[in-house]
Amino acid sequence: MQYLPFIVIGAIIVGVFIIGAFAHKAEKARKAAIAAALQTRGFTFGEKIPLPGVAELLATLPMLRNGVTGLIWNATATPDRGLPTILLEHRFTTGTGKSTQIHYHTIAATVCPKDWHRFTLTPENFFQRLGDSWGLTKDTNLENPAFNAKWRLKGEHDDSTALVILTPEVQAALQEAPPEEWWSIGRGFIACCWKKGTKPAEIDALLSRVALLVQTLSPEVRGMLNDAR
């Protein structure tokens, strides 16, 4: 019986090792499946080393705190007649000890003019609405009440770019977004961001979100994207 504590500790260590090995194998298989899915769609795939344009994209997303060092994988494609596209998965850590949290994001992006003033659309929450009602914060409201209830619009400098991009048609297209979605538009990129990692089966759904926004833009604005290629 005197050896029982050591046996228990040893069993725990072996169990942790086995769980870690299975998790590593599963993650390796997941990335391989994502790579295969993207390569069949014409993407160039890489893991931690940023492909062309990826570092510049992450520089426009300061909320992804560790930039390129947080890359899990990234992929790029430039169709002959389409817009350049970037896909990536990213993680960063906040807190220490028991309060440590790992934050995952998956991002699909295409190009826009670099002189567009950047703005973000993030899901509206109760505390923001409460702050607005008390006059402590202020949101920019547009024509569509459902869009206003869904999104918090914040301009990096001013709302000039947002007011051009977010036509009634675009507002209608974005009001039914999934709960984990947010957007960053301007400074060279239109980025649709999901607050989670991704599975191979979800790739088309994320890409379709960017395609939906681009297709809904006014013809004049879409022309600006083609010029930004």
pTM of model > 0.75: yes
Q: Label residue 35 by pLDDT band (50, 70, 90).
A: very high
Lowest pLDDT segment from 68-82, 124-138, 203-217: 124-138
Q: What's the pLDDT score for residue 19?
A: 38
Query: Distance between CA 149 and CA 195 in Å, rounded?
Result: 20
**Span 76-83, mean pLDDT?**
86
Q: Across residues 214-222, what is the average pLDDT?
A: 95
* Single-letter amino acid, residue 189: F
What pLDDT, on the 0 to 100 scale, is given for residue 133? Answer: 52
Taking only the tens place, the pLDDT of each residue in 120-164 is 999 985 445 544 555 545 677 888 999 998 999 998 888 889 999
Q: What average pLDDT does the segment 2-12 reach?
A: 52
Closest CA to 37 of 208, 202, 209: 202
- Among candidate residues 119, 174, 180, the one with its CA nearest the CA of residue 148: 174
pLDDT value at 211 more than 60? yes
Residue 6 has pLDDT above 80, yes or no: no
Which of 178, 188, 180 shows the shortest CA–CA distance to 212?
Answer: 178
Q: Please determine, for residue 48, whether its predicted confidence score (pLDDT) is greater than 60.
A: yes
**Neighbouring residues of 174: CB distance < 8 A, sequence distance ≥ 6:** 121, 147, 150, 151, 183, 213
pLDDT attached to residue 138 = 63
State yes or no: pLDDT of 10 exceeds 80: no
pLDDT score for 228: 78
Residues in contact with 112: Cβ distance below 8 Å, sequence separation at least 6, in sequence order: 185, 186, 188, 189, 190, 224, 225, 228
Q: Which two tokens stand for residue 180?
A: 């984990």
Rounded percentage of the chain residues whose pLDDT exceeds 90: 66
pLDDT in tens, 87-119: 999 999 998 888 899 999 999 999 999 999 999
Confidence of residue 176 (pLDDT cuts 50, 70, 90): confident
pLDDT score of 156: 87
pLDDT score at 2: 61
**Alpha-carbon distances of 82 from 51, 96, 113, 184, 211, rounded to whole Å:** 19, 44, 16, 20, 10
Q: Is the model more confident about 80 or about 172?
A: 172
* 109: nearest Cα among 211, 197, 227, 223: 211
What per-residue confidence (pLDDT) applies to 127? Answer: 45
